[in-house]
Every structure is written in C-alpha cells, then in structure tokens.
Structure 1
C-alpha cells in the first residue's frame, strides 16, 4: 500500500516565542498542574488541558471556505505513566460558539495517536481543538501536528523585511524566524532591505543571522523610501527576472514574531482553491492577548484606513473570546502578510506612498484583479500598539494624503462627500487648538491636489519639510509632565459624548466659541482619555496628556492662526468640490507609471 504524502499545516505549541506572551494564548489549564514547553507539555496527575485558545485552534471554517481540503489529521506523541489514563477529547464549535464533540480516545502507555476529522459544517464559522485529562498519573505529549493531504504543487516562500534604524529589533525577528526549523525549512530567501543609518549588518548578532540563513539571506541598503520603498525593493529583487517562483511574505522589522504563523499562512496559500493573500492578525505588544482587528476593510468615503469587517472585532480579548464566526477582509497590514506569486505577477508593485496605505492600496488592487485577502484568525504577530502612538505626529501627513490618493483611485470620490470629510477633520483640529496638526493636514490636501508629481522622490524630501513646518507650532512639542504641569492646572473631565447626529452642530458651536473667545479662562489639564475636540475646544489653554503617556502638549488659543487656517481650509475644500472628478482621473491615469518597475528602479537608484 502506497504511503500517503501529507503536509503539516499547523503545529500545536504550548508556549510562546517570548516570556512576554501570556500562556493562555497557547494553552488553557491550571498552570500549577502543567509544565509547558514550546513543543511539549507535561501534565501532572489530574491536570485538565484545553487548546481552545488563539494559537491552539484549527481554523476549520477558513479551511472549508477557501480550500478543497475535506479532512484534517491530528497527530500527537504521548508518554503516560503505568497508572495513567490520558483522555483525549476532540471538540468543534460552530459560528455561534456552541461546542460539539467530535471524537474521544483513551490513551495509555507510549506511542503515537492520530485522529482523522472531517472539515464540514463550518461554512459560517467554527474551529476544532482538543482537550486532555490526565487520570491516575502524569503524562507528556509532544510533536502535535495537524496535517492534510499534500497539494499537487509545493509552494515555497520568500520573506521581505523592511527596516529603518531598528537593528536590534530586526536581528531579533530574523533570529526568531530562522531559529524555528519548521518555519525556516519553508523559506527559499530572506531579503532584508535596510534604509537606516544604524545598519543591521553592524549589529553584534548579525553573524548569527548569516549563520542561520546562509546563502538564503540577501541584505541590501538603499535611501529611505519608507515602508513602501523597502517592501517593494525586496519584491522587485524577487521578480526582476519577470516572474516570481515563490510566494512572498512581507514582514515588519519591529514585530514579535511567531514563526508558527508563517507556517499557517503558507499552508493556507498552498491549499487554497485559487491564489489568495493570507495575512496575520496584529496582536498588541502591551497586551499580548489582545487582537487589534480581527478583519478589516477600507472606508474610502471616510478617508479611513480600517473599519471592522462584518462580524469583525476591534480590540478582542483572545483569552475570553474566540473568533468562531467567520469574517472576511478587504486587505491585511504588511506587519506580516503572504502575497501569492500569481498576485504579485498580475498586480505588480504598490504605489510609492512612502508611509501608510501602500499595503491597503495593493490589497484593493489585488482584490479587483481577483485575489482576495484572508486574515487568518489563528495566525498573529505582536506589533507596537497603535493607540499608544500620539495622533499629533508627522505621520498624519502621509496617512491623510495617501488616503485621499487611494480614495481617488479606487473609491467613488464624490467631491461633496470628500470635501465634507476634509472640512470636518481639519476644523476639529483647529477648534482643539492643534494648529500644527491642522497645518500638517492642510499640506496633505494641497499636495494631493498638486497631483502625482508629489510622489516623484518617494517621500524623502517631505520629511524635512514636515519637520520645518511643524517646528513653527508649539502645540506639536511634547514636554515632560513635571514641566508642562508645573502650574498645577486643575484636571477637567469631559462630559457625555455628543450624539452622532449632532456632531456637526457641536462643531459649529465650538468654532464660534473659539472665534469669539467665549471660553473657560486659565490653564486646565486634560487626560489622553478625555482628549476630544468637543471637550478641549471649551478652553483657552489646555495641557493635554500625550497618548504615549510619555509627556504632555500645551495648547493655547490663537485666533489669528485659526482664522488663517480656516480660510485656507475653505479654499481647498472649494477646489476639491470644483475639481473632484478631474483630480480622481488624474490620479487613476498615473497608476501604471507610478507602480511600474522603471519608476521604482529610479527611486531605488536614488534618482
């Protein structure tokens, strides 16, 4: 009888890649009665263990939806004491989270046990996991795998990492990835694109990376072209011959990497009925059990990067809530995302947007070309929390400008709608006395209107321009709390939030109050939690805590600046309304040239 060739698509791990990760992401048990290691688990007598956890579950719903695989095999090695009975329960859930038993085995002695499970009745949601009970004595399990019949095509992967002045973080990620034998075995090449002044190759541990990866490591340096330039340089290197022989996993340098997630992305891609982008979820570094967004779509009419998908969740606690109901995604962040070779060949490179929205735009273009995105609910990497980054930052320029560009190319770009969104957003900054932030947004709108030539240099010159622009506004400067709060201003807490259908009316009232100076006198202190424009706009001077909790910013009413910015905003909004269709067509027609290999090569060469 011919031996069936199978592919391991998932391992059950019992501990994370770093002590910061809470154990409950891998195993649910009384920690006093188990001894978890990365690939093995020791159970004390009476221990009860469940793998109904973020990394422990098999995402059955996604496998039924996107692959033709009809069964999965759970295999584990076990060693039991002479008086031990190890009970194995395999359990499934449905879209509502209701559990249903699949199989039960009673295990003794030492050996290997395999359980074949059908992947059916999971279309709308549900997962599969197993539970163990050690009865009478102790036991150990190890080398737990989930496998499926091997697909006809053996898909390999290459990794592209973009890095800028984070040599220690990049080294850590590379060592974690290269140090996992199962993940490293899938990788044909690792392209590290270093755009910083503190080089990765100068780090003391770089020799270990070279030793692990050998000739698979390709290290290049280039001018700082942002995340878009770094990722696209690696993709360009892999496709220079005109085709790509591997799927490409793009990956940030500053993540806490779970190599198992790379295995799961690759397995889903290899077994999918058609080429799909497969992304990791972003988990928070400060709360290693929390999911940033389970799945998201762009909101182009609102110029917003992400909104939860249908059935999606923002800030989900993975220790208490499992992602049973299946959701979809319009795109996936490039903190870790697999791009199938077919999509890269068909879609090409992304727009040279320098920072933010390049991954979103690529995902939209790929989707339109027939390559959807799947955000896999049991594949994640940990990334610095977005909510701990202050909104008043130079990056807002790129976020806003690029949002307008992508909306013009791929959205309805209704002039009335877009100009309304622009007017509302910037007016909120003005009334909350964030004049430097308002000026940052105004520059973004002006540059969008100026057309595709603003992307000519890939974004490098804009960094210096933004630094000079923002230096003119004291409210952009973060100061330490002892200095900013030296006068002991009283803390004021915001009241109830305005009703959504009354926000524009409240904004108009704040504009009038700020213009006439009918504001609460004196300096007040406002926490980051209470930092809302409708609250800050009631005062003439406010010391507002930075979202990063590293300091405060001092905001003071300046009628002259506010009036000037309001006039500029009105002029720009009128131009958006008048020239909306023309601007959209201008940007759409520029896409082939902007994303073309010749334009990117020019940028890589520093021209």
Structure 2
C-alpha cells in the first residue's frame, strides 16, 4: 500500500474496547455459502460480462436474471465460475451444491458445465424445469487437480424465466470462523469512506464479518466526512476506528492485526487486510473467508488485483519473488498477466508465493505463530509476510474468482521516492530468505545504478544508494517505523532537478521538432547489454552525445535510448507531466564512485548482514516493538 510522507496525528484508541464484543463466538449452521451467483456489479463501470453473459432478450441485476422466451445465459465468467480446482487442492470438501430459485412461464433447462486445466469443457449435469421452485444440485468436486472450474448456464425455452438467489454451498464446518477487516488509510478520506461504505452495504457479505477496523494515519481524517456518518451508523458496534501517526502500510495494517489478535476471542478470527482506495467487491470478501474456513490447514487467501482503469483486465494472477534480483512480481507457472478476463479464462491452477495486501486474508493462527509484520513502512511488507508464512509451512492461495479493482501500477513513475523502500526493503527480504550472495547482489545493484546514471536519473541513482546504505546500517534505522527515512529522502531528492515533474506545456517549446527518433527501433541483445552500457557510459563521460534536446515518450525511456542525448524531456508514466534530464558529468562521476563504495561494502558484508537481520526479526516483529511504535503500554 503506497502512502505519502508522514503528517503528525495523535494516537487514539477509541472503540478498541468494542473488539471483545465485536469478535463473537463462532457461528453454527448446516450449510455455508461459499459463493453467490451474482449477475452484476455494484459499480456501473464494471462490465456485466464479468458476471454473466446473456443472449437474446434478457436483463440482469445484482441478484436476479430475467430471460424472455428462447433467451440464454451462462456464468462462465470471472465472478460466475466456481474455482473447483482450488477447492479440490486445498480443502477436503467432496461436493458443492448449486442452489437457486426459478420461476418459468414454460419450460427451461439448467446445465452445469466444467473445464479442465487446458480449457476443455464437459457437461456435469442437466436439469429441465417448469413452473416455479427451487433447484438444488449436488456436484462432485473431482477431476480438477491441475485446473478447471464449474459454472451454470440456462435456456429459457418456450417461456419467460426468472432466476434468483443463486448460491454455491458446502456442508458447514463445526465452527465457522468470522472475519475482521482492517483498512489502513492516509489522507484518502473520500476513497476510504466509499470503500468501507460499499462493504457495509452488502448485508450477506457482512454477516460473517464481526469487525471493520479503520486505522487512520492521516491529517485529513475519514471521520470528518459527512458521508462517513452513514457508514458508522450502518456498521454500529462492528466499527473500530483508530488514529495514529503515519507508520505506512506496514504500521497501519499491523495496528489492526495487533488489536484484533490481542482480543480474548480472536483465536477463531480471520483477519482481512484491505487497501483504502480500491473498488471493492464485497463478494470477494465472502469468498475469501468461506474458502479459508474450509482449507485443511491455516492458509493465507488473497484476492486478485484487477485494473481500475479497465475493469475487465487482470493485473496479475499469482506472483512469486526473485530475491537475487530484488524483484517482487515474478509470475508463477501458469499464471496470467494483463489478460482480458471477458475473453480469456484462468484454467490452470497456479500456486502463489505471496499475495498483495490490496485484499488478503490472514488466519489468526498464522499471525500467532509468525508474529506481526516487520516495520518496513511500506513495500515488501506484505511480500515478506507471505514468504515468512511460506517458510513456516503455511501456503498462500490467490483465488481467481475473487478480485478487487486497484489503480494501475503502470501509471506510477519509476522515478519516485517510493523506490527507496522498494530497494531497501527488497535487500532486507533477500537477506532474510534468499541466498544473498554478496558478489551477485552487489553486481546486480551496481548495474542498476549505472543504468540510472547514464539515463541522467541522478536523483533516482542517489535514492538507490541511500537505500543500500540504510540497509547496511542494520535494523536500528527501523526504530521509528520509517518516518525519519521519509524526511531524509525528501531532502535528498530535492537536490536533483530531474526528479520534479513539470507540465509538458512548459518544456515543449524547447524541444527540437526536427530530431528524428529512429533510435527507438534499437534494443540491445541481452547478451550484449553490458557492452552497450559501458559504451553509453563512456559516451556520456566524454560528452559524445547528441546535443539537441529531445522529447522521449514514456514507453521508450530505456537507458540505452535516453543516454544518447545531452538533454531529454521524458514523459512521466502518469501521462500528466514530464521530467527534464540533463547530462551532468561531475554528478555522474560522484554518484558512480559512491555507488562503487556502497556495492563493495555490500559484497563484503553480505554474510554479516544476513545474520544481523535474522537475529533482529523476533524483536522487530514482536507485539512489544509495535506497542512501542504505537505509544501503547503492553
């Protein structure tokens, strides 16, 4: 969860005492709804085909489907499919019941179909009905180990048809574990109000949620919004509202986890962490909690991230990490990225190494065993926790029919203060769980910094260097939860003009309109990238570059292109501004020397740092450390 620099607030424990009342005893019931048959979104921006596909004269709303004579509909869609492969792999449930209510003026046909890992379809069962009634089909969960799902379709036949109250259910566990939702926010009062309000508006999804804990770390607070009064009234005793200084996503989510797991009744609770600025689908929360209730062992269960700007696009299906390259988002085998979910299905079962905390469920047993998150402020805190749980034997499952919409990462420019946390925290996590070979990690980091220097991204190169230096300083720099690092980082980046976005209209007149961008066709062979980088560095050092100022589109702003010029006006990834990069030989040489020293230290001290960080983990992740950061007497 990305957050802006800290503001001063006061710690407020209001409503914390309500947690004991909110976390009630587990519910007893015969059947557990694990998925509702929804036919539309709560948001008009989400296409209906994410839920149901109709043909002929048909109309759908959130809970009902109306078909005229000879119309058809199917739920072989993102939210309509039952993720059978995950249920067969991670639970001991042998069958699921599809239940719905129908009213037909003639006859109608319901068909349940299934797919396998390669997308081959098969019919599971077919039922012909007439008049009005309830349909209850018991469906075996079999032949899905490698992949596949189930869904239903309907033909209205010779009359009109109304379908409602569709749901997939399983035999309920002896004790049903409720969930507590934790939402961390920082000066996104309007976004947070909408997100919590959307969740609170769905009574069915809220039926197994005992508490909604808002951790407000901002100066523009959620409770200041008039609309929040309605949300507060709707949630009643379930709402827990806390304020504290800005400790980033790690500090905000940890506060909710700290309070919830400290309650006497928390042993049976699932904690669902959720970003404040998502477009929330309450059904996904229901599905996460239902699935977690049925897994054979405590399991982290995450929702997928969908694109907010294009709601039918999947960001990524499931991810792992490449610690030797300080890379978080590596696709797991079989997972998809950037696909149109209306056109393509996620058939193979793919395992996840971790799940982002845009929406993710953490069983209280895992929190009790693994401890609280490490105070990394933000970035890699959710990844580290997922890896930590995995190393302790607890899997993460990213459900392909549970998703929320999040702002697109590709619209955030790489040259940002947040990159400090990405590199610093990536080094921490690599030291904790990776090989952390000093030779390899130092070479990789020096290569990346060198690319930034020849790209005339001097501020970003300095950001990388500071990240490595702070990592080498050891765990003590996390004593304040990351707040001092923000101040120092802001001051550091202010020294470099190219870090500041400018309106395109201010610099466009300086560009040479006659410069031809034929160089954009060039991309070095992977095996020759090192030689090309060396050549570009020499050219930059000697000034043997094109002296004309050029404009560079964001998607062509690779180091091997930008480094050919003396001046470059580069479009910001947000598409709302530009950055002006100018060659500065003295700055480049100074940064290269500094980077070489830091990377040499990293190479020599890697074994020592690996031990230092391992030894510090119990204290860093303890309740006592977080209580100190929150100003709470343990």
TM-score by length of 2: 0.93
Query: Which residue is equivalent to 2:198?
Result: 176
CA displacement at 1:10 relative to structure 2: 0.3
* Residue in structure 2 matching 1:568, options 576, 594, 603: 594
SS of equivalent residue, structure 1 residue 359? helix
Moved more, 228-237 or 496-505: 496-505
* Residue in structure 2 matching 1:19, options 44, 48, 53: 44
Query: Which residue is equivalent to 1:161?
Result: 183
CA displacement at 1:85 relative to structure 2: 2.4
The structure-2 alpha-carbon separation of the partners of 1:201 and 1:9, relative to structure 1 and needing over 3 Å to count, comes to same
* Residue in structure 2 matching 1:101, options 123, 129, 132: 123
Matches within 5 A, 1:18-417: 18-30=43-55, 33-81=57-105, 84-241=106-263, 244-417=267-440
Distance in 1 between residues matched to 2:206 and 2:433, nearest whole Å: 37
Query: Which residue is equivalent to 1:445?
Result: 468
Query: Which residue is equivalent to 1:514?
Result: 540
Q: Does the 8 Å CA contact 2:261/2:364 hold for their aligned counterparts? A: no
1:559 maps onto 2:576 in alignment: no
Q: Does the 8 Å CA contact 1:159/1:189 hold for their aligned counterparts? A: yes
Alpha-carbon RMSD: 1.5
Q: Which runs of 5+ in 2 are unaligned?
A: 1-27
SS of equivalent residue, structure 2 residue 198? helix
Distance in 1 between residues matched to 2:284 and 2:451, nearest whole Å: 40
Query: Which residue is equivalent to 2:30?
Result: 5
CA displacement at 1:35 relative to structure 2: 1.3
Aligned residue pair count: 602
CA displacement at 1:497 relative to structure 2: 2.4
Distance in 2 between residues matched to 1:484 and 1:111, nearest whole Å: 69
Moved more, 240-249 or 284-293: 240-249
CA displacement at 1:488 relative to structure 2: 4.0
Q: Does the 8 Å CA contact 2:54/2:72 hold for their aligned counterparts? A: yes
SS of equivalent residue, structure 1 residue 74? strand
Q: Does the 8 Å CA contact 1:257/1:381 hold for their aligned counterparts? A: yes
Q: Does the 8 Å CA contact 1:68/1:272 hold for their aligned counterparts? A: yes
Matches within 5 A, 1:440-519: 440-490=463-513, 492=517, 494-519=520-545
Query: Which residue is equivalent to 2:13?
Result: none
1:532 maps onto 2:554 in alignment: no
SS of equivalent residue, structure 1 residue 205? helix
CA displacement at 1:123 relative to structure 2: 0.2
Q: Which runs of 5+ in 1 are unaligned?
A: none
Distance in 2 between residues matched to 1:33 and 1:539, nearest whole Å: 60
Distance in 2 between residues matched to 1:308 and 1:112, nearest whole Å: 42
TM-score by length of 1: 0.97
Moved more, 488-497 or 386-395: 488-497
SS of equivalent residue, structure 1 residue 314? coil
